[in-house]
Amino acid sequence: MNWAKAPIVRITLFYIIGIIIYNHLPSHNFFYIVTLLTTFLLVLSFGFYFYYSNKISLHTWYLALTIFLSFIALGYFRSYTFDERTKEDFYANHLDKTSYYFGDITDIKASSQTRTKATVNLKKMLIDSQWVNTNGKVLIYLNLPIDSLQDNDHSIIFINSLQSPNLPKYPYEFNYAQYLANQQVYHTGFINDYDFFLLPRESTFLEQLSRVRNKIVEIIYTNISDPASANLIAAMLLGYKDAMDAEIIKDFQQAGVVHLLALSGLHVGIIYGGIYLLLSFIIPFKYRNKITIPLALITLWLYTLMVGAMPSVVRAAIMLTLLQIGVLFNRPVNNYNSLATAALFILIANPLQLYSLGFQLSFTAVLGIFFFNAPLMNICKTNKKWLKWVIGSLSVTMAAQLGTLPLTIYYFHQFPTYFLIANLIAVPMASILIYIGFFAIILSFIPFVGLLIKKIFALLVKLFILFIRFISDLPYSTLSNIYIDPLSAFLIGIIIILIVLQIYYKNIKIYPSLIITVILFGINYNLSIAKRIRENPSFEILNNKYAVIGQKEQEKFHYLIIKPDSAQLPDINTKIDMFCNYYYCKNNNSYDLQDKVKSSAFYLNNPVIANKDQTFVVGDKKEILHWKELTKLPYIEIGWYRLRYYDIIDE
């Protein structure tokens, strides 16, 4: 890449550095120093630049350095102003004094058939019988079906029952608290039936667009009777996945084509192409570029806002807009510049998107295509058109996969083995399905034609899902239980870049750097494994239905399940297997209760575990002998288990 032709890339990188500094500095007072210093240097450099213009080369470098320092400060400044926790009226600063909150419900999702989770933008809080202005977002759960909230937008008054989200107990678990924090949500609450009151309110423009999306989803499910077909087209066209079968999503993940269910550049490109094609039939040919392209872009941005302005969609929309503007003015567009421009716009609007998985995967996938596609295409050259298409499809798929590989392994701890084969067939099929589904919705009101298209669409969807399931069920379709730390993920990315560069630029000696990087990765990865093998953590799952406690002892894992006969256990074995895979436990040893437990709601206080019916002493032989002298409680000997203190946990 020619850095001279991609100034936006450099500006965006320095802006990102400013965001990272803000999120890792313990004291934000540094912000004022950085802002004042860089502003002073920027003004000073402009003065030198204009006064000593005869020595332009020296002062150009000085000016460039100052501008980049200013963008670091801008990233820091934007993060500071975006962070609601820095404001004096932030709700969490008065959490223990507040009895009620008032705010606007901005997003709703079905938590179950009878419960809805709602994101609330807080406006006021009740402190000592007075309503006080506040700000911030919270996530609350209401005992209402989602249908009761979809017809109108609402404000809500609810009692203060907010709590901080639980942090993950183990490193391999999904950090839900951090996921919410990246959306500036720091507290959640379960609101009882009589502890909230809904008030109708006027909808904003974005909420009206969201309601249009919901109406289109209703049309899809009304006119397409096959559930699998309706679920797939709703996901591919509108990003609506609430009704998707969990097993189908799992099949897509294992086949390496789950990106087809998330709106991305592929979907945006197809939808833009459909919009452009429809407008081309209406607008005369001689006005095609001057009128069709602007109208198509306006429609595309309305669509982007309607589906929630997800990072992948916004990125694709910005890049497509820049490309089409280049077509209008006959100006070539630098791919890296357009990608950096999309990232910069998104991060100016919301700096926390930098830590969003969707943002990271979307941009690394496109960056992988830009960087790796040409070298991969260069490996296999051919003049045959059909073979060139196959090689091109495989090259783009491989390039995107290489770009996202470190993040995929780091976040999901797995790698789909047959992703090349799956994507070679699935991507063209998905494109066809999007087009047919688009016309199936539009023509669904025409009796014979609409019915015929829906039948064809349902048949293709069944074949599509059968193919994905076939790939997913192949032996070794997924390499799972791969746990790496951020440094290992970074080194994997460097190794991939060096290998591709060595293949493409055969005259450059990259092998020494590659070997050193591989050695560093091997050392870091094996040190992390050795650390996990040495650790002997305890394992606890406690709630108001059952209790599972365990202890790792070198390569052995001892555990005990306590539950009433009537209690139904979820997939406990999967959680135990994940624990043992991460900490390298080779042998599992299950202990049984000597007496039956009649009820639940467990209380744990080292070394006693109890509920309202029974109390047990849990520990190793030495602890048991000690407690036998003090009490006649029944006991359970479980290796050398060390219980931690817990209060009653009610999930």
Model confidence over 182-199: pLDDT tens digits? 999 999 999 988 889 999
Contact 153, 137 (CB under 8 A): no
Q: 3-class DSSP state for residue 615? A: strand
Residues 519, 587: one domain? no
590 phi/psi in degrees, rounded to 5: -95, 135
Q: Is residue 563 part of a domain?
A: yes
* Domain end residue (candidates: 144, 179, 202): 202
410 domain-assigned: no
200 burial type by CB count under 10 A (0-12 exposed, 13-18 middle, 19+ buried): exposed
Q: Is 327 in the same domain as 447? A: yes
CATH of the domain at 172: 2.40.50
| Tokens of residue 433, six digits | 């399905």
Amino acid at 407: L
Sign of the C-alpha dihedral computed for residues 378, 383, 387 and 388 taken in this order: positive
What integer pLDDT is reported at residue 624 of this predicted model?
Answer: 53
Distance, in Å, from the CA atom of 373 to the CA atom of 391, rounded to the nearest integer, reads 10
Residues 462 and 348 in one domain: yes
> Do 15 and 41 share a domain, yes or no?
yes
Q: Clarify whether residues 281 and 319 are in a common domain.
A: yes
CA distance 336 to 578: 40
For residue 115 the two structure tokens come to 């419960």
In angstroms, rounded to a whole number, what is the distance separating the alpha carbons of residues 460 and 429? 8
- What CA–CA distance (Å, rounded) separates 119 from 103? 10
Same domain, 244 and 333: yes
Residue 102, domain member (yes or no): yes
Does 207 fall in a domain?
no
Out of 82, 117, 142, pick the residue that ends a domain.
82
Q: Determine, yes or no, domain membership for 385.
A: no
User: H or E segment at 149?
Assistant: helix 147-150
Residues 6+ apart with CB under 8 A from 489: 406, 407, 409, 410
Coil/strand/helix, residue 186? strand
Q: List Cβ neighbours of 238 (8 Å cut-off, separation of 6 or more).
A: 213, 216, 217, 220, 263, 306, 307
**Token output for 270:** 């197809």
Residue 394 maps to a domain: no
| Domain annotation covers residue 570 | yes
CA–CA separation, 463 and 623 (whole Å)? 61
Q: With respect to residue 454, please indicate whether it lies within any of the assigned structural domains.
A: yes
Domain assignment of residue 49, given as a range: 3-82
> Which helix H or strand E contains 617, and what residues bound it?
strand 615-619
- Based on the domain organization, do 474 and 491 belong to the same domain? no
Contact 635, 625 (CB under 8 A): no
How many separate helices (H) and strands (E) can be counted in the chain? 20, 17
Residue ranges for the chain with pLDDT beneath 70 = 1-4, 26-63, 285, 287-288, 386, 444, 542-545, 563-569, 589-651
CA atoms in the 13 A half-sphere facing the CB of 158: 29
H/E element, 158? strand 153-159
Residues 6+ apart with CB under 8 A from 112: none
pLDDT of residue 604: 47
Do residues 425 and 525 both lie within one domain? no
HEC string for 496-549: HHHHHHHHHCCCCCCHHHHHHHHHHHHHHHHHHHHHHHHCCCEEEEECCCCEEE
Which strand ranges, in their side-by-side order, compose the sheet holding 603-605? 603-605, 608-610, 615-619, 635-637
* Domain count along the chain: 5
Helix (H, G, I), strand (E, B) or coil at 68: helix
Among 317, 322, 323, 367, which Cα is nearest to 346's? Answer: 317
Whether residue 127 is found in the same domain as residue 187: yes
Residues 544, 468 share a domain: no
Specify whether 180 is located in the same domain as 322.
no
**Structure tokens given for 67:** 């501008």
Q: What is the DSSP letter of 168?
A: P
Print burial letters for 451-486: b (CB count within 10 Å at least 16), e (below 16). eebbeebbebbeebbebbbebbeeeebbeeeebbee
**Same domain membership, residue 271 and residue 326:** yes
Query: What is the C-alpha to C-alpha distance for residues 224 and 71, in angstroms, rounded to an integer?
Result: 50
pTM for the model: 0.82
**End position of a domain, from candidates 462, 479, 496:** 479
